[in-house]
């Protein structure tokens, strides 16, 4: 990284030396090295306190610094790559002139070799875009909640449930948020303003530990639904990604998380279902434990979860991983509408009219939004929180409102 810094500094001097005053250039140079030195000092401090840094309960800080590393490294690599292209062209040009004019034997006619700076300028522009986009994603993007709405029509929806308003959230990863960050309370207010009949949470309440929920449970308990709040577990909720002193400790952590779901007012569905009745008519809410393609574990048991549900009813399914819909739901069940999460939209992408893209599509073809096969629907929520990278670039955290007609 230090070698890259020196190389970038060479390109920086090339860009500014003829465009600004000597004093301004000096200020730019000191600013560049000041930021880089602060970064290296912070990196050193982390290595000196590595045990504390990797503590799962400090995820918000560790993910934030991961993001700063990504910001610095990716942005600098963008600039240095384009500057390298300029250098390559420059040295090829010098080599060609050397061969044809035999520099060293006689003087080169005309002026000195001019430096073409096009790719260096292009790299500087892309560096600015990358740095700005990632910085926004870290500082603001991960807290900028949006509400996405869908209205779905079903011929056999019981009349009593016409206009049913369902709010879905998913992948809270609550340990990744700065402690008691105001954005979470604001998101809860946004949910309540939608006046939902049902609230669904489709897994990954935490990164690893149930203790991440401490304090947040009261805020999540403030979500209000006229009929009920239902939840399931996601792959991160089982504590499979960290070491445990014993299996008993891991089981106790999961049990504690289940208790937190109850404190937050969620009816946690563990391969089971609930019947909702209005005016003598019914719909069914089904919840499976996490089911994903390997290496993700398959705790989910759809046959067990749907046991006792009559044929021909209207059925909603909560399944964390959208892969499950393709593997076991469509064309094999009478489940009308499935809610999933898991992908986060990779916390990076482009969604503008006519363009919907995220790198995660190459792993999960159904990664965000609404999908339909025959008469069956899947909605994939892009996530409430974040993990690994403490930011969201072009992929804001999502609150989904689905109205049934």
Strand bridging mode 165-169 / 198-202: parallel
Find out whether 63 and 390 touch, Cβ atoms under 8 Å.
yes
Which phi and psi (to 5°) does residue 292 adopt? Answer: -140, 160
- Determine the pLDDT at residue 102: 58
- Determine the pLDDT at residue 101: 66
Three-state DSSP at 394 gives coil
Find out whether 345 and 360 touch, Cβ atoms under 8 Å.
yes
Which domains are assigned to the chain?
A: 2-139 (no CATH), 147-404 (3.60.21.10)
Q: Which helix (H) or strand (E) holds 147?
A: strand 146-152
Q: How confident is the model at residue 52 (pLDDT cuts 50, 70, 90)?
A: confident
CA distance 84 to 82: 5
Over residues 335-364, mean pLDDT: 96
- Determine the pLDDT at residue 395: 98
Over residues 130-145, mean pLDDT: 96
- State pLDDT tens for residues 94-106: 887 777 765 545 5
Cβ neighbour number for residue 348 with a 10 Å cutoff? 20
The larger pLDDT score, comparing residue 101 to residue 13, is at 13
Which phi and psi (to 5°) does residue 143 adopt? Answer: -110, 0
Strand bridging mode 355-357 / 350-352: antiparallel
Q: How confident is the model at residue 141 (pLDDT cuts 50, 70, 90)?
A: very high
| CA-wise closest residue to 328 among 272, 378, 269 | 378
What mean pLDDT value characterizes the chain? Answer: 93
- Determine the pLDDT at residue 115: 67
Q: How confident is the model at residue 147 (pLDDT cuts 50, 70, 90)?
A: very high
Q: How confident is the model at residue 46 (pLDDT cuts 50, 70, 90)?
A: confident
- State pLDDT tens for residues 55-94: 888 888 889 988 988 898 889 999 999 999 999 988 888 8
Q: Which of 2-6, 109-113, 253-257 has the lowest mean pLDDT?
A: 109-113
- Determine the pLDDT at residue 137: 96
- Determine the pLDDT at residue 51: 83
- Assessment of whether the complete model's pTM goes beyond 0.75: yes
DSSP code at position 294: T
Token readout for 363 is 């792993």
Over residues 235-260, mean pLDDT: 97
The DSSP line for 353-364 is TTEEE-GGGGT-
Q: How confident is the model at residue 114 (pLDDT cuts 50, 70, 90)?
A: low
- Determine the pLDDT at residue 109: 52
Looking at the DSSP assignment, which residues form a beta bridge with residue 151?
403
Find out whether 271 and 298 touch, Cβ atoms under 8 Å.
no
- Determine the pLDDT at residue 90: 84
Token readout for 267 is 């009816």
- Determine the pLDDT at residue 294: 87
CA distance 401 to 150: 6
- State pLDDT tens for residues 148-160: 999 999 999 999 9
């Amino acid at each position: 990284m230090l070698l890259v810094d020196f190389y970038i500094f060479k390109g920086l001097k090339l860009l500014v030396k003829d465009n600004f005053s000597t004093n301004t250039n000096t200020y730019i140079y000191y600013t560049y090295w000041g930021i880089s030195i602060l970064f290296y000092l912070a990196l050193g401090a982390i290595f000196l306190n590595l045990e504390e840094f990797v503590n799962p309960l400090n995820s918000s800080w560790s993910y934030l610094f991961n993001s700063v590393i990504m910001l610095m490294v990716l942005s600098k690599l963008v600039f240095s790559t384009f500057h390298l292209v300029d250098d390559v062209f420059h040295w090829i040009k010098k080599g060609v002139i050397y061969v044809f004019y035999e520099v060293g034997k006689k003087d080169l006619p005309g002026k000195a070799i001019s430096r073409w700076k096009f790719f260096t300028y292009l790299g500087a522009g892309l560096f600015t875009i990358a740095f700005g986009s990632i910085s926004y994603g870290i500082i603001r993007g991960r807290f900028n909640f949006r509400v996405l709405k869908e209205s779905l029509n079903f011929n056999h929806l019981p009349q009593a449930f016409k206009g049913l308003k369902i709010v879905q959230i998913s992948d809270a990863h609550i340990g990744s948020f700065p402690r008691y960050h105001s954005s979470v309370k604001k998101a809860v207010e946004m949910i309540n303003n939608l006046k939902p009949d049902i609230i669904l949470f489709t897994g990954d309440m935490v990164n690893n530990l149930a203790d991440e929920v401490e304090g947040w449970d009261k805020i999540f308990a403030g979500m209000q639904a006229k009929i009920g709040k239902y939840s399931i577990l996601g792959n991160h909720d089982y504590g499979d990604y960290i070491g445990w002193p014993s299996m008993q400790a891991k089981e106790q952590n999961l049990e504690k998380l289940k208790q937190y779901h109850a404190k937050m007012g969620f009816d946690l569905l563990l391969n089971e279902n609930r019947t909702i009745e209005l005016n003598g008519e019914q719909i069914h809410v089904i919840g499976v434990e996490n089911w994903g393609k390997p290496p993700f574990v398959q705790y989910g048991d759809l046959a067990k979860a749907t046991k006792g549900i009559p044929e021909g009813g209207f059925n909603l399914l909560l399944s964390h991983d959208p892969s499950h819909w393709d593997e076991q739901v469509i064309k094999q069940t009478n489940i009308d509408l499935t809610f999933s999460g898991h992908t986060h939209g990779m916390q990076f992408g482009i969604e503008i009219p006519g363009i919907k893209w995220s790198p995660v599509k190459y792993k999960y073809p159904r990664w965000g939004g609404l999908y339909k096969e025959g008469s069956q629907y899947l909605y994939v929520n892009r996530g409430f929180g974040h993990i690994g990278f403490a930011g969201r670039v072009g992929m804001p955290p999502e609150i989904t409102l689905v109205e049934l007609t």
